[in-house]
Structure 1
Amino acid sequence: MALGRYTEVARAANGDLIRAGEVTVLVAGSSTLAELWQDDAGTVPAWNPAVTDLASGAWSAVAEAGLYDLRYPDGRTVHNVPVAGASGGGGDAPSWDDIADKPETFPPTIGATAATAVAGNDARLSAGAAGTATVRALGTAATTAAPGNHTHTGLLTGSAAEVNNSTAEDAPGLAADFNALLVVLRARGIITGT
């Protein structure tokens, strides 16, 4: 038996606290009183209906995991209130296959927020607005993206390649070769800045 604790502050339909009132717990969809317990192990039976606290209107009970109907003193009934099995207490979450009437697919919500997907006709997919991530067409212009097989001929040939294969044997020689490499990379537009 998977047990779970249900706790609430009982309120009337108008929002007033139900103090020292009786809340009857029924097996969902029936007139059968639910078996309630005072302790999480299910060893000390609890009275049903449960009596709410005189000061706060709070009440709590342990029941077998499932759905229950709660009948309040004002005659109102709240149907299908879930009581989940406590973790580590033998209660397991239902498997996906046990859930009835579930959707087969979950289509994305189309919109313009961080939590929604962008539709194919959204201007953000093709516009080049500053600071906006866009999907670019392939090409060689400033507003296009280079394909994966695109190469920049000669970027590391000539003097850059020679500096890259430094044979310096001391710190000043390495610093000179490194600075020469930076000059070549800046001249070829690979890096910017001074």
Structure 2
Amino acid sequence: MALGRYTEVARAANGDLIRAGRVAVLAAGTVDLVDLFADEAGEVPLSNPVATDLTGAWSAVAEAGLYDVAYPDGRIVRNVPILAPAGEAPEPGLSAGDISAVAPVTWDEETATIGVTTGTTAGTVAAGNHTHPGLTADQAAGTASVRTLGTGAQQAAAGSHSHGGLMTGSAMAVPDSEATDAAALLADFNALLAALRTRGIIT
């Protein structure tokens, strides 16, 4: 029989410690109390339900497997695993779920090689030298594309570039307004608009 120890600090649903309470360990999916022990050798029986101490802590040894833990406030935590120490195999007859919860991981399992199939279909992994259809050679290789200066669609504008349609005409400079009444201010404003139209900035 592979035994394992389970230890926890019991808390109620609201988070309060369950001090000097009693916690029951049940066979998973049942209301049956299981055999518990105080020692790892399974020679000293322990009462079930188990009493918690003044800090809410409790501990018990049981056969490795899955259990339900019932607390005094009526709450039940399902499928709590009790694990066998590393190196001890589970008892024959345990379910697949029990074995996955109990069996230790061996060195070979940790260093096992995972086979990966490369290819171009949905169920395979793209190879390291895979290229994506539709990409240019520079794009696939991650080569940067440097724009030349010019006026074409694929060229960058020079710093001295001017936008067509602006400042195509000419007009005298419009002095700052020194208007002191609404009529003079209106006249200055109209003069500014006329200059902007002459320069082609507005229509």
Q: Normalising by structure 1, what TM-score?
A: 0.49
The structure with the larger Rg is 2
Q: Give the TM-score of the pair, scaled to structure 2.
A: 0.47
